[in-house]
Chains A and B, each alone.
Chain A
Amino acid sequence: MLTDLTIAEAREKLRAREFSAVDLTMAHLHAIETLNPRLNAFITVSHSQALDQARAADEALARGDARALTGIPLAIKDLFCTVGVRTTAASEILRPFVPPYESTVTAQLLRDGAVFLGKTNLDEFAMGSSNMTSAYGPVENPWKRLQDEDAVLVPGGSSGGSAAAVAARMSMGATGTDTGGSIRQPASFCGLVGVKPSYGRCSRWGVVAFASSLDHPGPFARTVRDGAILLGSMAGHDPKDSTSADVPVPDYEAACRRGVKGLRIGVPKEYRSDGMPAEIEALWQKGLGWLRDAGAEIVDVSLPHTKYGLATYYIVAPAEASSNLARYDGVRYGARQDGAELSDMYGNTRAAGFGAEVRRRIMIGTYVLSAGYYDAYYLRAQKVRALILRDFNDAFQQVDALITPTTPSAAFAQGEKMDDPIQMYLNDLFTVGANLAGVPAISIPAGLDANGLPLGLQIIGKPFDEETVFAVSAEMERAAGFTALPQLRAGG
């Protein structure tokens, strides 16, 4: 099936003209037509635009102008502004918004010949770990528990629609954004590779902001190599983003072939939390074994402030969000609710336009920045953030990469963990540190739990050393031999 190919395979075959880009795009559009009504992975499907782009790709291929992604169908998280295609951030407040501009990351994907199938569902403004906070309905995880096929599981979040789309073979790859784990956690829940590069590696220009200092665009793929291909296209310095790093983009695909011989791999002891399921602990040990067998040295390291990462995150992220979301006021774009006076219009527009979780975080963020509380909350959190970065810097004095589980559990069912926000926040326990420190991290599918659900392992690297992270990820991918498939998928 065309939809089962990896990006690397499809690229070869497109160049060999074994099938056309239109064939490949049609196959995915057909999969979307069949599966999306149930999975709800896409908010907007750009059917005709995708076919136009596929036809253009075929012409380019015929001319011999084959670029990195020519003819490859991708799904775009509905947080990336796409010119002429509605961009909602999964929020009511942006329901009517059609951007007159293209985000830098998606522009680069288009430059490299990609075909965009549509815009994927997410937690509203990327705030969530389950995709349950979307104003466009929840996304269903294409994976099923072996013993309980009726249970509807979440794909994780916030990039849940992107993860479900790639897992169910509705798309060959997808963009996501990762603010506290929003690429890696859904990748883990859906049996995918999820890449969160270094802060500054991928431009944030044109990506609807959640928390500016923590937001990282990155790709989803089904293999490490595909992740490398996508990141290679998405990455690069952007003069329009002051926080974008002016450093060269290395050949990530080549890095996947490096191997791990002689690398020192750290195991942070603080990630061994009480109550970690035994199967996750076992999988972690197994992963370390693969690397040892491949010639890496395993070293115990300490990241003493790990346990404070989440609390730090839940001050910094809402604080920035409360300010970033102030622009949604119903004046220049978006959905407006009337009010007699300007302030009523604002209050009504924002109360109706934002969902409960977004409102909650705006309230928390407003509070921790307000007079009299700034020092106790926000300033203290920034200091703890500095200590967390110092932990990573210290660890990377001793090792080349760190290995941890990606999540404390496999995918849970819709409706679970909904009563207590903190239970939901704990999903990001292992992922949030890399966002606070800005270091690159990849989640790869490493095995299945007793219910047959995928579990991920996380590889964390030094700032801007994605190459080592790809090398380790590729080695572990080879050793893991992960071939399990979700129950709901194209042709499945």
Chain B
Amino acid sequence: MSLDTATIRRIASLARLTVTEDQLEPLAHELNSILGWIEQLNEVNVDGVEPLTGGAQMAMKMRDDVVTDGGYPEKILANAPDRAGQFFAVPKVVE
């Protein structure tokens, strides 16, 4: 599987990374070389193997339904690049 510049553009858009036209070719070259190297995994016979999701092999603990957090809007908003009163502010979204 080889990435063309159109795919690079689509992936960059999905990842919300602005990419300039002159970056497309070098990026395609880099990513193709990494993906080509990764394709060695095709040698492995994985028939009947259950995928392993994570490093922990246990069932998930559940917490009690108690309010223990929140209630500190100033801390939540303190790092905001732009805010309007108690709200975060972003460029206008058209739905």
CB within 8 Å of B: which residues of A?
Answer: 96-98, 100, 199-200, 212-214, 239, 242-243, 245-246, 305, 307-308, 311-312, 314-315, 322, 326, 329-336, 338-348, 350-351, 354, 359-360, 362-364, 366-367, 370, 373, 376-377, 379-387, 389, 420-422, 435-438, 463
Contacts and interface: CB of A to CB of B under 8 A. Distances in A.
A205 B27 CA distance: 34
Given A334-B79, A343-B16, A245 B34 contact: no
A199 B53 CA distance: 13
A364 B30 CA distance: 10
Contacts of A326: 16
A436 B51 CA distance: 12
A245 B91 contact: no
B91 A333 contact: no
Contacts of A336: 81-82
A354 B19 CA distance: 12
B71 interface: no
Contact of A384 (B44, B53, B58): B44
A366 B15 contact: yes
A363 B27 contact: yes
B93 interface: yes
Given A332-B76, A420-B33, 9 more contacts: A199-B56, A214-B55, A246-B61, A314-B37, A344-B18, A351-B17, A360-B31, A367-B35, A386-B51
A387 B41 contact: no
24 contacts: A98-B79, A199-B54, A199-B55, A213-B55, A245-B56, A308-B41, A315-B41, A331-B80, A335-B81, A336-B81, A342-B91, A344-B91, A350-B16, A350-B18, A351-B19, A359-B17, A367-B11, A370-B14, A373-B1, A384-B41, A387-B46, A422-B33, A422-B37, A438-B55
Contacts of B53: 213, 382
B79 A315 contact: no
Contact of A341 (B17, B43, B49, B91): B91
Contact of B93 (A214, A333, A342): A342
B90 interface: yes
Contact of A212 (B54, B80, B94): B54
Contacts of A96: 79
Contacts of A437: 55
Interface of B: 1, 3, 7-8, 11-19, 27, 30-31, 33-35, 37-44, 46, 49-58, 60-61, 63, 72, 75-76, 78-82, 88, 90-94
B56 A385 contact: no
A385 B52 contact: yes
A373 B38 CA distance: 13
Contacts of A199: 54-56
A200 B59 CA distance: 13
Given A329-B16, A344-B91, A421-B34, A367 B3 contact: yes
A275 to B, nearest CB: 17
Nearest to A376: B1
B44 A308 contact: yes
B55 A339 contact: no
Nearest to A335: B81
Contact of B54 (A213, A333, A346, A363): A213
Contact of A200 (B30, B55, B72): B55
A387 B91 contact: no
A79 to B, nearest CB: 17
Nearest 10 interchain pairs by C-beta: A199-B55, A438-B55, A333-B79, A382-B51, A347-B18, A336-B81, A213-B54, A386-B52, A383-B46, A351-B18
Contacts of B90: 331, 342, 345
